Structures are given as C-alpha cells and as structure tokens.
Structure 1
C-alpha cells in the first residue's frame, strides 16, 4: 500500500514492521520492569517474604527496563534528529548512573536511590528519557495515558528528590505511573504500523545530500 507524504509516496517494508515491533517490545520491557519495581515499593512491610524474594531481582529487572528503553530510543521515529539524540544521551547518562549505583552499593539501586534521594540525580535522566517518549506519543497521537505519564513521571521522581509530598501521595503517584505505563505499553499494539512510522518520506528526505534535496524539491514543485 502506498502513502502520500510531504516529499513523495512511500510504503511500509518488512524492515519497517520489524522496527515498529522492536520499538513496541522495548516499551513493553520498560513497562514490565517499572511495574515490578513499583510493586516492590508499594508492597506493605508485612509482606516480608514476597519483598525478600523480589529484592534480589530488582537490579536485573531494572537493567532489563533500561535496555528496553534504549532499544525503543534507537528505533523511535522522530522527525527532529537532535531531539532523538538528546533522548538517547539522557538514556545513556541515566543507565551509567544506575550501573554506578549497582556497582558501588550493597542495596539494589532502586532501594538505595529511594533511601538517598540525592542519588535521583544519577538515575533521573532515564526517567527524563521516558518522559520524552511519553511527550512524543502524546503529542503525535493525543493519547491520554501518554499525556498522563508526561506529568506523573516528573512529579513522582522530582517530588521524591525535593521531598515535596508525604509518603501516601508519593505512593499514589507511583501507582498512577504504573497504571499509565501499563496502559501505554498495551495500547501500542492496537496502533497501525503507519502511525509509529510517521511520514517516511520525511526521513528519506533527511538522508539525501543537500544537492539531492534541492533536486527533489524542484521536481516536486514542477509536479
């Protein structure tokens, strides 16, 4: 099937479909990791056996989530290349911060950062990158859950860093992030492939040399 884009006609290839599937699977991995870490934080203290069993998995699951987000940021279709690179840099900084915490502290990174709020600065760029993905999805598709994430994630992470909210409010914000991210990841699979690809003609135009771009614009003007 052919689509008409800003710079000509384009079609969806098998490679395009694989990229979209990879992007969505990366988001799913991030959502599952967030849900696991969030559930651990939200479990009441009397659930000691469950918390003890989950505790040893916190770091591996966190790395799975960070890896999934990294894959999605590699495959995401954003027309502004500098914005995509900025999100990737944030991901890199946040992942490096998380690895540093894991390598230097006895507690799992999630537990250590929760107990020492200043260390949010080390892992915060990961959440900033996730917020950027939510912003892109909310802006492009008017998704309520993406718009909710765009507000809830910074409030939860920034609120903990600055000690803005009492514990019950923090827990409520964390629970809302878990629900919103689960809905966001699940609803990605209901979209047409074309939606996640965007206007492919723009990306193809950006790959051309300046001379080739001028020639294409001239041809399009004549047509």
Structure 2
C-alpha cells in the first residue's frame, strides 16, 4: 500500500494505491471539512445523470427554439412545431432530474429551486390544458402569442436561472454567468412587450449557443467538482445527536493539538 500527497484544485488529497496479484486500483481520498471522503461508483452515476439532465434540457430547448429561425413553410419547421410539446416536456424533465441530483450545501436553496420547478411544471400544465389546447395551439406557441402566460411558466425558467447561477458562481463559468442574465431578460422582455422581435431573436440565439456550451463543458469537469465537499453532505445527513457528538469530538481534537 502506497501513500502519497497530491493537490487538485487547491484541495488536499491522499492517493491510496492497493496492489494485489494482477490488480492495481488507485483511490483518491480527499480531505473534507468534516473528514476524509472518496468518490464512489454511486457518486459517479449521480454526476453523470446530473449532467445528462442538463444535456437533455439544452438539446430540447435548442431544437425547439431553432424553429424561430426557420422558414415557416420548411419541412423541418413543420416537424419541430408538431413536437414542441414533447420537446418542452423533455426539457422540463431533464431540468427536474438535474435539480434532484444537484449538490448544494444549503438545503433550503436546493429545495427552493425544486419548488420553482414544480410551480413551473404545474403552471405549464394549467396553461396547456385550459388555454392552449382549447385554442388549438401547443404550449410554446400559446406563450409566444400570449406573453401573459409567462407568469405561469416563469418559475420553471427561474429554476434554470438559479442552476446556471450556481454553476457560474462555483466554477467561474462565463457562459453560465451570462445565461443568468439572458434567461430572465428574454422572458421579462417578452412579458413586458418592451423588446422588438429582432432583439428577442438575438438574445434567443445567444441563449441557445451558451446553453449548448454550458451543457457540453460540464463533461470536461472532474467528477469530484460536481460532488463538492462530500463530507459536508455526510455530516448534514447525520441525526442531531450524532452531529453534536462529532462537533464535540472535533473541538477536543482541535484543543489537544493546540495553536
């Protein structure tokens, strides 16, 4: 067994390499705020699903939004128009999956984003069943033609804005930071009627491009980045009595080590 110190993105870690006959499997142990932790197979699956949800959401949005730039009489435009509700549903589901799996230290913030998603989904369902469908339109077309419907679907995109804001803040992703402003600008501009079609199309095109870059670049990050400090989540999952016992033990160790 070989131990060695290493440094990744400023986090201290230890590489433990266990060697057996015909087998070698290095394991990196990271030093967290509440103790050491490792990346397990379940963590990898969660991160991949989280990123896949973002890709699904981005792909669905880009395909649906591309209809705004296609000739109305084109075959591709007709195909997209016929499947706008499906694309909207896939995008919402992908975002929902990512919001379930996203790692945020403050549980209340995560729950707030999830609550916004639920409100947006419910609002979308209400608009579709009571307004869009009776008028013979799909949901997206109805919102385009009736800006006031943004009040109902808006929370869904507010949840998306919160997610990209978190990504931009935590990882310094420029595209995520710009999306934080573009998403509400497009929706509020459409709602208020203060933007002409040219401005809205320009912002929409920027949204499409940045969303693709954002989702694609997630797969260039190390898995551990999307996990964060796993020891914090492990600590938060403990019962209150165990948390108290751990804090007391930590304080005793800190006192015994001295300044």
The answer, yes or no, to whether TM exceeds 0.5 is yes
Moved over 3 A (4+): none
Question: What is the distance in 2 between the residues matched to 1:32 and 1:102?
Answer: 22
| 1:43 aligns to 2:41 (yes or no) | no
Count of residue correspondences: 222
Quick check: 1:131–1:153 contact (8 Å CA) kept in 2? yes
SS of residue matched to 2:220: coil
- Unpaired runs of 5+ in structure 2? 1-27, 254-259
Post-superposition shift, 1:208?
Answer: 1.1
Whether contact under 8 Å (1:59, 1:102) holds in the other structure is no
Give the C-alpha shift of residue 49 in structure 1.
3.0
CA RMSD of aligned residues (A): 1.1
Equivalent of 1:100 in 126, 130, 133: 126
TM-score, with length taken from structure 1? 0.96
Task: Check conservation: 1:7, 1:205, Cα contact below 8 A.
Answer: yes
1:79 aligns with 2:109: no
Structure with more strand by fraction:
2
Question: How far apart in 2 are the matches of 1:144 and 1:200?
Answer: 25
Corresponding residue number in structure 1 for 2:20: none
* Greater length-normalized contact order (CA 8 Å, ≥ 6 residues apart): 1
Mapping 1:1-40, distance limit 5 Å: 1-40=28-67
Q: What's 1:160 paired with?
A: 190
- Tell me which residue corresponds to 1:90: 116
Q: Kindly state the Cα deviation for residue 174 of structure 1 after the two structures are TM-superposed.
A: 0.5
Q: Distance in 1 between matches of 2:71 and 2:168?
A: 33
- Unaligned segments of structure 1, at least 5 residues: none
Q: Check if 1:178 corresponds to 2:197.
A: no
| Higher radius of gyration, 1 or 2 | 2
Distance 1:19 1:171 in 2: 35
Distance in 2 between residues matched to 1:86 and 1:194, nearest whole Å = 24
User: TM-score under structure 2 normalisation?
Assistant: 0.83
**Cα deviation 1:44-85 (Å, max 9, x = unaligned):** 44x443322211100011100000000000000001111111
Q: Which has the higher helix share?
A: 1
Cα deviation digits, residues 190-219 of structure 1 (max 9, x gap): 001110000011111111122211211122
